[in-house]
Structure 1
C-alpha cells in the first residue's frame, strides 16, 4: 500500500473515533429512587434504594430481579456493596441505622449492625476487598462515627470513640450516592464533608476544600481517586441543580493543593467515578459529564439525571442509577 494512501486511511479512522460521542443509554425504569449501586463485573449489578428495594441484574442491566426486604419496606438503603451474584451488604441510614447482609441473592437478610442512638445516620460504605470494609456516619456530639468489618460485613464494630474524627459546627456528610468515602490504596481511605465546612479527611489530616460554605446544602458530595495522591471531589449546592459554581475540585497532591477545572461539570454533582487513564465521569440531577483530561475540562453527554455512577470492579462497564432509572455509559 502506498504511504500516502495509508496515511489517508489512518487519518480517516482517527477522525471517526474522535467523532464517536459517549452517551448514557437508559436500561430500565421503575418507581424507586436509587442511590446505592455496586457493579461486581460487566454482568452482575446490584442496586438499593427507597421502600426497602433491592435490584439484581445478571445480564448487564438488561433485566432486573426486584426484592423488597421484608420488615424494612420503609427503609431507604442508600449504599450497597456486592461481592458476587449472591452476597451483598446494604446500608440503611437511620434512625435506627442498619446494615444487612445476604448470602442467598436477597432471599433472606441478616441484620449485622443495628444502632438506635439518637442522631445516628450512616452515609456511606467502602470496601478494600471482600473482607475489609468501613462505614462512616454523621457527627454525634461533634464526632463522625466510623465502623469497621474484617469478615466481609458479617460483623461490624465501631472504632474506639476517642479515635472518631472531630467535626466542626455545621459539618456533616451527604448520603447522596454512597461515595463520599473512597479507598486510595490497599490500606487507607479518604472521606469528604460539606455543609458549613467542607473538608477532606485523610489519616489524621483535615484539609479544607474550597467549596462555598454559607449553606447546609453546599459542599462535597463525592470523592474518587486515581491513585494515593490524585482525587477529584464533586458537589455544589443540591438546591441549585444547574449551578456550575464551586462544584468540582481536583488535587494531584493528596489535598495539599486544589485545582479548579477550566470547564466545570454542568451543574450540582452527587457522584464522581474514575474510569481509566485520564477519563472520569460525574452525574447529578440535571445530567452526566465526562472528562478525558483528568478533570480540567468536562463535557455534558446526557441530560438524564442520575444519583450515582460506578465502574465495574473487574471489567470496563460503567453504570448509573437514579430516581426511577438505570443507565449505562455507551462509547
Structure 2
C-alpha cells in the first residue's frame, strides 16, 4: 500500500472546519496517469503511459488492467467515462499515434473509433457535453486550433470546419498535461492555451462550431500558460497553470471567472505550477501539481496547500474527488475534523 501523504499543518484552514487529505490506492503499477475519469466514490477509470488503463468498481481497493491490446506503446492522456462499462480514451502523439478508443463492456474489448492521419495535428484533450456529444482538441493546424467532434457517444468522429475558430497566436498551443485543457459545463465547451505571449480561454455555445476567445493574465510562454480548466456552470470557471519547467514558482498561476468571459488572477494563488483543477462543491475546489495539492473554499479566490505529494490530474463526480499522477499514484479525497 502506498504511504499516506502528509497533511501540511500550516495550511490556513479555520480551526474546526473539515480538512481534506488524500487516501492513496494501490494500483500495482508505475504508469503515469494523466487521464482520470471518476464516476462515483466507487467507480473510477485512469489512463496513462505504456497504454495503461485501469478501472476500479470498489472505491480503489482493487484495480483491473483493461487497456486496449494494440495501445501498449502509446501514451493515454485523457479518458471520459459515463459509468462502469462505458468509457472513451485518448492517446497523444504525432500522426497515427493520436487515437480515440471506446469501450462498452468495462474495458474487456475496445474499438478504435478515430486515428489521426494528419501529420500536422496533435490532439491534447477531450470532453463530453453529454453522453452523445463530445469534442477533442488539437494544437493549431494551418493557424487555427482543430476540433474533432462526435454525436454518438464517441463511436465516430469528424473534424469540424475551422471557419468559426479565431486565429491562433504565434506559438500558441494546448497542454496535454491532465486531460483538462478542454472541458464542458451546461452545454458549453471551453479550452485553455499557453505557449504564446498570452494565455487564453476559448468558449463555444454551439457544440464546437464557433468559438470566441478571451485573454487572461496567467503568465504565458514557450512552456507556460493555463494547463487545467474546470467550470461549475457556464459562468463560474477556474484555471490553473504556470511553467512546468519551474514547478516551484507560479506567482499568478491561477485565475477565476464569474461571468464566463472575463478572468481575474486569484488573490492568493497556489504559488506553484498546477496542472489540474476541479470543482468539489458549489464553493470548494481542488488544484494539483507535482509539488502539492491546494484547496479553495471561496470559489477560487484564495488557495491553501493541504498536501505535498505529486499528482497530475484531479476530477470530481457524484461528491467524490479523485487524483492521479506519476508512479501509479491514484487517491480519493477524504475529509476529517
TM-score by length of 2: 0.88
Q: Unaligned stretches of 5+ in structure 2?
A: 1-13, 205-210
CA pair 184-67 structure 1, distance change in 2 beyond 3 A: closer
Shift of residue 165, structure 1, vs aligned partner: 4.2
Shift of 1:16: 7.3
- Superposed CA deviations along residues 151-205 of structure 1, whole A, max 9, x for unmatched, are 110111111243344211100000111111121312x111110111311112332
Per the alignment, residue 291 of structure 2 pairs with 286
Deviation sequence 1:24-80 (CA, Å, 0-9, x none)? 121125210001011112211011001000000000111111134212111001000
TM-score normalized with structure 1 length: 0.90
Checking the alignment, whether the CA contact within 8 Å between 1:32 and 1:51 is kept in structure 2 is yes
Distance 2:110 2:165 in 1: 29
Task: Name the structure 2 match of 1:252.
Answer: 258
> Which residue of structure 2 lines up, in the alignment, with residue 185 of structure 1?
186
- For these two proteins, the number of residue pairs brought into alignment is 311
Secondary structure in structure 1 of the residue aligned to 2:19: coil
Partner Cα distance (1:128, 1:21) in 2: 32
- Aligned twin of 1:330: 334
Q: 1:221 corresponds to which residue?
A: 227
Partner residue, 2:61 = 62
Find the counterpart in structure 1 of residue 7 from structure 2: none
1:245 and 1:17 mapped to 2: Cα distance?
A: 29
Quote the residue 1:242 is aligned against.
248
Runs of at least 4 residues of structure 1 off by over 4 A? none
Shift, 1:105, TM fit: 1.7
In structure 1, the residue corresponding to 2:71 is in which secondary structure? coil
- 1:207 maps to what in 2? 214
Does residue 1:24 correspond to 2:22, yes or no? Answer: yes
Cα distance in 2 for partners of 1:238, 1:216 equals 10
In the alignment, the residues of structure 2 paired with residue 253 and residue 23 of structure 1 have an alpha-carbon distance, to the nearest angstrom, of 31
Partners of 1:21 and 1:161 lie apart in 2 by 46
Which whole-Å CA distance do the structure 2 matches of 1:76 and 1:32 have between them? 10
Distance 2:212 2:85 in 1: 38
- Distance in 1 (alpha carbons) for counterparts of 2:139 and 2:312: 20
| Aligned equivalents of 1:306, 1:64: Cα separation in 2 | 18
Q: Determine the C-alpha separation between the residues in 1 that align with 2:44 and 2:148.
A: 25
**Greater relative contact order (Cα < 8 A, sep 6+):** 2
CA deviation after TM superposition for structure 1 residue 239, in Å: 0.7
Tell me, in whole angstroms, the C-alpha distance in 2 between the residues paired with 1:165 and 1:64: 42
Q: Which has the higher helix share?
A: 1
- 2:208 alignment partner in structure 1: none
8 Å Cα contact 1:266-1:300 kept in structure 2 = no
Which whole-Å CA distance do the structure 2 matches of 1:85 and 1:226 have between them?
23
Separation (CA, whole Å) in 1 of partners of 2:173 and 2:54: 29
